[in-house]
Structure 1
Amino acid sequence: MELHVRYEGDDDPEKCTARKLARFEMTTLHDSPRSVPRGVVLDPHAERALSPADETDVLVALDCSWETADAEAFQLDGPHRALPFLVAGNPVSHGRPFRLNTAEAFAAGCYILGERDQAEAIMSKFRWGHTFLELNEEPLRRYANCADSGEVVAVQQEYLDLADD
């Protein structure tokens, strides 16, 4: 699966997971929205959840600070999909639901789309990468076994209901 990042460069370069993935030639960084190829855009503001039904060979993420991650920033070409309930494993947002960094988002997307080996390869580049996969092992497996977005949302609701208890 090809991974592309619309890179804003507004976060700490030392903690930027997109830049690290680019150094390992696992993703391509793009400074302009026009240079980003069409693919499934991982967008927390999207109305549909990512599911195995989203057959693609290109995933696109926006790398920016969570403070600037409004809906307008995600104006990229391609179908937009939200990742379902997952918990961050990175040191900055550890344990916070829906606050994944770029590497975690790509790993989750790859896993859900049936590219588990690629997800594990992505996370292997980070000391804390195994933590993300361990924290989310069950939900990632369940999401990857769903037929479509509706099933992913139903599984997600189970986790949200548990969080409310």
Structure 2
Amino acid sequence: MFYQDDPKKCTAAKMVKFGLAQNIKKIGSKGLVLDPFAEKTLLPKDASVIHSIVGIDCSWNLADHAFSQKFNGIKRKLPPLLAGNPVNYSKLNKLTTAEALSGSLYILGFKEQSLELLNKFKWGHTFYELNQNLLNDYSESTTEEDIQNIVADYGLI
């Protein structure tokens, strides 16, 4: 965690507090790093090559700097999703760390864990409700082209 946001609104800190995540210092080679600037999009088949999911907790205002650092691991960006959090409600791709982790869990086939994570936040159900159809479609995709078609079908480009 970079500790760049209001600690009271930090979803990463809350996940650590409830034992749903760990604050780590080193990322292994099989760690999936959620990077909004990555070239490749997260696909369900990525579940077979990863050991853990890593969300880099930083402020969106400082994301360029945070993600310019070298991180080990397998870098993937999430396909477009709408934020359900009160700060960036319905903004495309302005997700909290919790939303990003939940979205990735869902896409990778860990739907129960995804929803369990969201239950720790008052607005968690909102993220799911806004993205339920997208998440279902993304979780059935097999290629980047599938993602692009889904995005076009929903008018997200």
**TM superposition score normalised by structure 1:** 0.87
**Equivalent residue, structure 2, for 1:28:** 22
| SS of equivalent residue, structure 1 residue 109 | helix
- 1:72-83 matches, within 5 Å, as 72-73=68-69, 75-83=70-78
Hey, what's the Cα distance between the residues in 2 that align with 1:149 and 1:78?
20
1:58 to 52, 57, 61: 52
Q: Secondary structure at the match of 1:10?
A: coil
- 1:1-165 superposed matches below 5 A: 7-30=1-24, 32=25, 35-38=26-29, 39-55=31-47, 56-70=50-64, 71-73=67-69, 75-159=70-154, 162-163=155-156
Q: Alignment identity in percent? A: 39
Task: Determine the C-alpha separation between the residues in 2 that align with 1:76 and 1:86.
Answer: 24
| Deviation >3 Å, runs of 4+ | none
Gap regions ≥5 residues in structure 1: 1-6
Contact 2:27/2:73, CA 8 A, preserved across alignment: no
Q: Contact 1:10/1:65 (CA < 8 Å) preserved in 2?
A: yes
- Cα offset, 1:163, TM superposition: 4.5
Distance 2:143 2:45 in 1: 5
Q: Which runs of 5+ in 2 are unaligned?
A: none
- Displacement of 1:29: 0.9
Cα separation, 2, equivalents of 1:36 and 1:78: 6
CA distance in 2, matches of 1:114, 1:40: 14
- Structure showing the higher strand proportion among its residues: 1
- Residue 134 of structure 1 aligns with an amino acid whose one-letter code is E
Number of residues of Structure 1 aligned to a counterpart in Structure 2: 152
Q: Is the 1:49–1:153 Cα contact (8 Å) retained in structure 2? A: no
Residue identity in the other structure for 1:116: K
Deviation at 1:53, TM superposition (A): 1.3
Q: Which one-letter code corresponds to 2:59 in the other structure?
A: S
Q: Matches of 1:114 and 1:148 in 2, distance apart?
A: 15
